Structure 1
Amino acid sequence: MAIDESTVGETPLVELDAGVAPTVFGKVEWLNLPGVGHGGGSIKARIAVAMLDVAEEADHLPGKTILEASSGNTARALARIGAARGYETAFVVPDDLGSGKRAALEAAGATLHEVPAAEGYDALLDRVTELASEPGYWHAGQYENATNPSAHEQTGREIWHQTDGAVTAFVAGAGTGGTVTGVGRTLHERNPDVRVVGFEPATEPHGLHGLKYMREGGYHPDTYDESVLDEKRYLATEPARVAARELAVRHADTDPTIVDAGQHDGETIRATLRVDGDFLVGPTSGGAVACVRELAREGVLDGADTVVVPLCDRGDTYAEGELWGNRLS
C-alpha cells in the first residue's frame, strides 16, 4: 500500500458560514493523506505518524503487530501507515463500524476484533488491554501515549500561523483529548487569553463518533489534560447533527473560503471539499460548530472573536446512520 506521509500536517484553514457573529475557521483534516479513498484521511493521521515514529526510534516494532482500540479514524490511519511501513495491524472496533471505515481497514489488510457497540467504548479498551497482554503485539495506546497530544502541538502552531495570531478561541471534542490538549497548550503559550473549550458527549449512548463519554466516571484518558481547558461543555448528539446539516445547506452553492492552503494547492482542496456535490463533515465537526453557537448565544463569543474548529473527517465516512445515511444511501 503506497502512502505519502509527507501529506500529513499543514492542512488547509477555511472560513465557514456558521450563521454566528464570530468568524469561524475550520481546519480541514481530511487533507491528511488526501486521495486514499474511503472518505480520505482524518485528524488521526497526525498521531499515527507520530506514535509510529517514536516507536520505531525506540525499536519497539520489529516482529510486532500494531494493535489499537478505535471507533474508526485512528484505526484507519494506523492501518494505512502501518501497512505502508511493512507492519501487520490489528484493531478492536465496535461491531457497528461504518462500511467506509471497515472497507478502509480491510483494504489495508488489518485484522478486526469486534466488540458489541452496545457495551460502550470502555469495553473496547478492556478488550485491547487483554490482547495487549499477549505476545506479539505493540499497543499504540492512543489514550495514554503522550505522543498523541504532543503531535497536536504542531496543529496548534499551524493554527497560530494561519490566523496570524488572531485566533481568540479553539473548540474541539474530547475522545482521547489529545487534540484539545495539544492545541490548547500551544495556543496558551502564545496567548494566555485564547479561550480553549473542550466538549464531551452529554449522554451515553451517543452519536458523536470518536468522542468518549466521561461524565459519570469510567476510564479518563491520560492524554486528556483538562487543566488546559478554559471551559468544558457537554453536548447532545442532535445539535451536532443539526449544525453539520446546516453547514451543508449554507455551503450548498458556495465553497468555504480558503484562508490558508497549508501545503496544498487550491485545486486539490476544492476537489476534496465536497462529497457528491455536498459539503459534508462528520458529527464531531458539527459538534464543534454547535458549541460555538452555544457560546455565541450566551455572549461568551461575539463578532470580535476568531474561532478555530477541527474538521476531523469528511462526511462520507458516515454513510450509514442518522447524520448522512439518507443523503449518501
Structure 2
Amino acid sequence: MIRYDESDLRRAAAAGIHAPSMYNSQPWRFRLRDGAIEVLADADRRLTVADGGGWAMRLGCGAATFNARLALAWAGTPAEVRLLPDSDTPEVIARLTPGRRRPPTYAERDLHAAIERRHSNREPFWPDPVPAGVRVRLIEAARAENAWLDLLVGMTALSGFSEIAHSADRVLRRDSRYQAELITWTETEAAADGIPAMSGAPVGEPQDLLPHRFGSRRRAPGRDYEPEPLVGILGTAGDRGLDQVMAGQALQRVLLTATDAGLASSMISQPIEVPAARDQLRRSLGRTGFPQIAFRVGYGRPGTPIPRRDVTDVLTDS
C-alpha cells in the first residue's frame, strides 16, 4: 500500500504556502496522518471581522490544497482528494491519499512551475487585450474544478460591476471594526504575513473604474489603470463550505493558468464580502449559482513577492 511520508508532507506544504489568501493571512496547516496528507483550516488565523463566516478561510485553504495536489503530482504520486472528509472535524479541509504512481502530465508540470511565480499585482496593467484563446483556457481551468468563470467584456458589463464593487467598498470603509482589522494586516513590514506597503496599490483616484483596498502609494505620472480591464467572476453552483473549498481550488487553477500564459492578476473581494452586493452581482450575471471571488487579469510587470511563513511554521501533529 502506498503511503505519503514526511518528505511528501514538506513538499506539499512548501507548495501550499504560496496560495493566495485574504490579507495574506495564510490560514492553513498541514499534517501527515495514517499515510495521508491533510490540509487543515487554522481558525486562529481567520479574519474575525472580514471573514466571520469563514468563507475566505475556506477559499484560501482550497487554493493551498490545489498547490499541494500539484506538488505531489509533480513528484510522481498524485493524490486522490476528499474535501471536508469528516463532518465531526470541520477543520480538516482536505485529505490527500496517494494514488497510482505516474509521471506528471505536461499541464501539471507547467502549473507547478507557475506556483512561485504567481503574485498579486495591484499596479495598473498594460492596455494589451487578453487573446480569446487565453480567455478560453481560463474558463476551462475553472470548469475543470467544478466552478464557473464569467469574463466581463465591454463597458456595459464593466460599468455595472464597477458600481457594485465601489458600493461594496464604501460599505466596508464605513465599518470602523473592519478598517481596524485591515490596518493590522497592512502595517506588517517585518512580519511573515499580511500585505506590506510595497505590495499595495497606488492610492485610488476618481477616474479609476475599480476600487483599490490596499492603496498606499502615490502613482507615477501617466500610470492610470487600464480603462477596460478584463474582470473575471468565479462562482459555484452552491454556497456550502464544500462549494467554497472547491472555489478555492478552481481559483488557484485559474490564477496559475493565467501566470503560465504570462498574465498578472489581483483579487477584488469587496462585492463578495457585502451580502447585498453579492446578490446584486449574481443577478447582474444572470446566474443561478453563487459568485465566490472576482479578480482582474491582464498583462503587466510581474507582481512583487510578499512574505510567507516558513514551512516549519505550518506543519502540525494535531
The TM-score bracket by the shorter chain reads: under 0.3
| TM value normalised by structure 1 | 0.27
| TM value normalised by structure 2 | 0.27
